[in-house]
């Protein structure tokens, strides 16, 4: 029986598709297809950063990957901020998806935006760009090699990705399997994890990895992802 799946890995704020570098070869070695697109304005697409880039832009980025690559049976993984993105994608492209995986991420509710889940909203430096919260250690990364790798790759996030409300009125996520992987003690993600458990999501913990398990504990993260398929 063919048990291969397609993973689409969506990075969090200030990161890029590059952050999945340790995960991609492990999933491919297990026989799965993997895509790790970079959202508009981040990573190698930072030259496209403009004030007009918003949550809707990033949702369209991922929907376009699904459609142009003609992907089906997709395990859609969203890290951190990308919990907002994958929930929006499911409203547009649910037939192409088999599962949503919230990786230490926000778990959005209809009409809310990311800043609703923070005690203090992310503020911009110039009215539209939000600089990274800090060095890689602020993301829970402690290895000197990983810090040296991440530091030059972190980039500003367009502010409207944090302040645009999400439309989940179509409620199409209820037809999909949903999983939450809890990795950190940040209050916003603890709250999301507890809500996911109450809603009956499949639930895993990888607390020792902290907020960026794809960087700090990729083998352990891949083992969890492989159990889903």
pTM of the model: 0.96
**What confidence score (pLDDT) does residue 138 get?**
94
**What confidence score (pLDDT) does residue 39 get?**
98
Q: Do the domain assignments include residue 74?
A: yes
Number of domains the chain is built from = 1
Q: Do the domain assignments include residue 1?
A: no
For residue 210, what are the domain limits?
6-227
Which CATH number characterizes residue 92's domain? 3.40.50.1820
**What confidence score (pLDDT) does residue 51 get?**
95
**What confidence score (pLDDT) does residue 123 get?**
82
Q: Do the domain assignments include residue 201?
A: yes
**What confidence score (pLDDT) does residue 214 get?**
98
CA distances from 6 to 117, 179, 212 (A): 30, 16, 21
Active-site residue set: 80
Structure tokens at 169: 């009125």
**What confidence score (pLDDT) does residue 1 get?**
37
Q: Which distant-in-sequence residues (6+ apart) come within 8 Å of 161 by Cβ?
A: 13, 53, 54, 55, 57, 58, 81, 84, 114
The residues of the chain scoring below 50 in pLDDT are 1-2
Our separate counts of H helices and E strands in the chain read: 8, 8
**What confidence score (pLDDT) does residue 79 get?**
98
Q: Do the domain assignments include residue 17?
A: yes
Task: For residue range 81-129, list pLDDT tens digits in order.
Answer: 999 999 999 999 999 999 999 999 999 999 999 999 998 888 888 889 9
Taking the C-alpha atoms of residue 104 and residue 79, their distance in angstroms, rounded to an integer, is: 6
Q: Do the domain assignments include residue 105?
A: yes
Q: Do the domain assignments include residue 47?
A: yes
Closest CA to 55 of 171, 164, 168: 164
Q: Do the domain assignments include residue 91?
A: yes
């Amino acid at each position: 029986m063919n048990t291969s799946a397609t993973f689409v890995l969506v990075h969090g704020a200030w990161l890029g598709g590059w952050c999945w570098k340790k995960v991609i070869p492990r999933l491919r070695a297990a026989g799965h297809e993997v895509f790790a697109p970079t959202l508009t304005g981040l990573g190698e697409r930072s030259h496209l950063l403009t004030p007009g880039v918003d949550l809707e832009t990033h949702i369209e980025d991922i929907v376009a990957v699904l459609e142009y690559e003609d992907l089906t049976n997709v395990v859609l993984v969203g890290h951190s901020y990308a919990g907002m993105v994958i929930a929006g994608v499911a409203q547009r492209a649910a037939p192409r998806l088999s599962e949503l995986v919230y990786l230490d991420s926000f778990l959005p509710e209809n009409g809310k935006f990311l800043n609703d889940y923070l005690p203090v909203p992310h503020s911009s430096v110039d009215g539209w760009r939000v600089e990274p919260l800090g060095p890689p250690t602020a993301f829970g990364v402690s290895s000197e090699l990983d810090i040296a790798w991440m530091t030059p790759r972190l980039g500003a996030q367009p502010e409207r990705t944090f302040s645009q409300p999400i439309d989940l009125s179509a409620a199409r996520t209820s037809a999909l399997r949903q999983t939450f992987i809890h990795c950190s003690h940040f209050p916003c993600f603890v709250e999301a994890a507890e809500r996911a458990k109450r809603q009956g999501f499949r639930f895993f913990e990888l607390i020792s990895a902290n907020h960026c398990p794809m960087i700090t504990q990729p083998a352990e993260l891949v083992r969890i992802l492989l159990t889903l398929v």
